[in-house]
Structure 1
Amino acid sequence: MSLTIVKSCAVGGLAAALFIGTAAPSFAVDQALIEAAKKEGTVVWYSTLIVNQLVRPVAEAFQAKYPGITVKYSRTPAGEMALKLQNEIRANSVQADVFDANSAFFRAMPLENLVEYKPEAAAHYPDDLKDPKGRFTAVNVFTMATGINTNLVAEKDRPKSYEDLLDPKWKGKMAWTTDLTPNGPPGFIGNILVTMGEEKGMAYLEKLAKQDIAKVPASQRVVLDQVIAGQYAIGLMIFNNHTVISAAKGAPTTWLKIEPLISTGNYVGIIKNSPHPNAAKLFEEFILSKEGQTVFQKASYLPADPDVPADDPSLKPKQGGYKATTITNEMALEQLPRWTEIYKKLFP
């Protein structure tokens, strides 16, 4: 996993353009923290997010705001990142300062390895988006939805409830990823059990298992691409913003508001004994601030900040006017093993 360095001279007008019309942050970062971060001069960010779409723009925006602090970053899947960091910790040679990752990271990373720091920028975030001790805070959220091929699913036939997915006409025509995280089948199962209750939920899942849902051993994006290509009519557990991005390019796809949808988080935190602890705190404050969250918005991600809408406001539950079950990090850590066991049993 190699590190990429963003040079300040490469910022150009991009970062500045991102902030035109952006509201000023509602808090002032402590000047002492800024000065301490500038003395360190560098922040190292391990990320799971797409480099060209988001990581690089965030790094450029941060450097534009805080000249003299260089952002080094690398991208890797959450589970692999946790293992790499644990190796660094055991070797007493921590390289990363700050990370972002989903629940797969926290299943492998003991929370005692994370710094307890409550960023002021996230003081107004809902409690279900942050750890009470400050060890992690949601930096962006995902809305998992049902995506369809609009050429294969007529408007009159579009499922409006989870029960509609049991219609015989969809047998063998649905697909989902094999990703065993809250963003995959286990998250779907958890939502059903939370929504319907244990007995009714299990009865529903047993019926759904008879629909012969195709298991695609790839990402949610690949599942949607196969739906768009016509291999399947319906994709379950699809990132709703991906359908909007594809539809804007002319693809025959949209997402359905089958309630409740599933909302999950991607979290940012700081590693203990990192080489640049002050720069890490400053970076976390920035990425969670309205300025930083606006970069997520412009990149078509869903900002975690409840006051920053998505680029398409309908993609987030509050602005979109729909209900969603929030699978918190704590819920995932506690319940994901059972949801995964149910998935493996019913959908072998």
Structure 2
Amino acid sequence: MKLGSFTRHLGLAVVAVFVVAACGNTGGGGAASCSAAKTAKSAADCGGMDALVKAAQAEGKLNVIALPRDWANYGAILDGFHAKYGIAITSDNPDGSSQQEVDAIKQLGSTSRGPDVVDVGMAVALANTNLFAPYKVATWGDVLDSQKEPTGLWIQDYGGFMSIGYDSSKVPEIKSIDDLFGSQFKGKVALNGNPKQANAALNGVMMANLAEGGSLDDVSKGVDFFKRLKVAGNFSKTQATTATVKNGTTPVVFDWDYLSAGHGKDVPTWKVFVPSNAILGGYYAQAVSKDAPHPAAARLWEEYLYSDEGQNLWLKGLARPVRQKAMTDKGTVDSVAAGKLPPVNGTPQFMSDAQSTAAKNYVVAHWDAAIA
């Protein structure tokens, strides 16, 4: 949804409020063209896209949460939406976890600070559908049925494959996940957040589980892997962030390949390893808060994300947008960006909704004791 610059972790400050540009009617007091925005299940319910745009510009604001600017190119996406529609964006708790996103909806509701939209891991999305409003974007038909809730309560947005990123100047080449038990990895292996709350970290545990012979139905071997790594003195409880990677505190990190690949900008010796026996793919999901204080802007944001423009911006961040195949078929995909995606060799596996929920429940119950 989404931890440090690339890691969604704790943080409370509102770090970015984009000043409204001089384009369109962006005042907060004007009458919206779409009076039914709060219950609109599609742009058509608002009278079409033009009416939705006018309503969103009349609201003049959008609240997002847990969107680091260097996570999957979200900085360019936030800037692009603002430039296109002139709507001010408040970006709260950018380093927050998926769980903290839904907690904010529960705590802030429809107050002026409440999140309008969330970008969360599937386990969190599935457990909190009662907080979401059904909405189907114009490109709904391009997304596989398995990647969206039938009424529009959530829809997957972008994804990638779990990997182990490492600074090759600080540790030996990693050819197998069991290499991490070597003496040269003492205190150097970290996760992208707390797996009890953060989707990326949970998937890191599942990848270790698969590499150790486990299955998508039972994550226990993954938890045991990190328990043994902790006993060996190689697991670091430090939550990995862009800063900790850059300063060398966390030279080995379990994370999505599209996020890990980005560390090469700060650490030229950074490499990314995807175990061929544990190719774990995963997608995040978008949802509109049913209590969104800016319901029209929330829905317009979703339309932007699932447009060719929004999807290609994720692609430029090395993430795989959910509409990539449809856009490739239509000739609207950014082929240059697509050509830069990290290579994956092998057969990918994806957790089902039930497997994702079961894995999270097991980790919540056993993680603290495992790494104590």
Q: Same fold (TM over 0.5)?
A: yes
Q: Corresponding residue for 2:233?
A: 212
Superposition pairs for residues 159-308 of structure 1, below 5 Å? 159-166=174-181, 168-170=182-184, 172=186, 174-177=188-191, 179-180=194-195, 181-184=198-201, 186-193=202-209, 196-197=213-214, 202=221, 205=225, 208=229, 210-225=231-246, 229=248, 235-249=252-266, 251-259=268-276, 260-299=278-317, 301-307=319-325
State which drifts further: 32-41 or 328-337: 328-337
Q: Corresponding residue for 2:36?
A: none
Q: Secondary structure at the match of 2:90?
A: strand
Shift of 1:47: 2.7
Q: Corresponding residue for 1:102?
A: 120
Contact 1:143 1:263 in 2 (8 A): yes
Structure having the larger proportion of residues in helix: 1
Distance in 2, matches of 1:106 and 1:285, equals: 22
Shift of 1:50: 2.1
- Answer yes or no: is 1:114 the counterpart of 2:132: yes
Distance in 1, matches of 2:229 and 2:115, equals: 44
- Per-residue CA deviations over 1:258-316 (Å, capped at 9, x if unaligned) read 13243333322111143443443232122122211122233455534333579474645
Distance in 2, matches of 1:127 and 1:286, equals: 20
Shift of 1:118: 2.6
Distance in 1, matches of 2:62 and 2:112, equals: 10
Contact 1:174 1:235 in 2 (8 A): yes
Q: Secondary structure at the match of 1:7?
A: coil
Q: CA RMSD in A?
A: 3.9
Q: 2:80 aligns with which of 56, 61, 66?
A: 61
Q: Corresponding residue for 1:338?
A: 362
Cα gap change, 1:211 to 1:247, in 2 (>3 Å): same
Cα gap change, 1:323 to 1:225, in 2 (>3 Å): farther
Distance in 2, matches of 1:57 and 1:84, equals: 24
- Answer yes or no: is 1:36 the counterpart of 2:51: yes
Q: Secondary structure at the match of 1:131?
A: coil
Q: Corresponding residue for 2:3?
A: none
Distance in 1, matches of 2:112 and 2:154, equals: 18
Contact 2:204 2:255 in 1 (8 A): no
Shift of 1:256: 0.9
Q: Which amino acid aligns with 2:189?
A: A
Q: Which amino acid aligns with 1:87?
A: Q
Contact 2:159 2:321 in 1 (8 A): yes
- Per-residue CA deviations over 1:34-74 (Å, capped at 9, x if unaligned) read 23321342352313112477555324433554x4x624222
- TM-score, with normalisation over the residues of structure 1? 0.72
Q: Corresponding residue for 1:85?
A: 105
Q: Which amino acid aligns with 1:50?
A: P
Distance in 1, matches of 2:141 and 2:232, equals: 45
Distance in 1, matches of 2:232 and 2:256, equals: 22
Distance in 2, matches of 1:46 and 1:301, equals: 19
Cα gap change, 1:93 to 1:283, in 2 (>3 Å): same
Q: Corresponding residue for 1:23?
A: none
Shift of 1:191: 3.1
- Number of equivalenced pairs: 317
Contact 1:46 1:73 in 2 (8 A): yes
Shift of 1:336: 0.8
Distance in 2, matches of 1:297 and 1:60, equals: 16
5+ residue gaps in structure 1? 11-28
- Answer yes or no: is 1:125 the counterpart of 2:122: no
Distance in 2, matches of 1:201 and 1:56, equals: 36
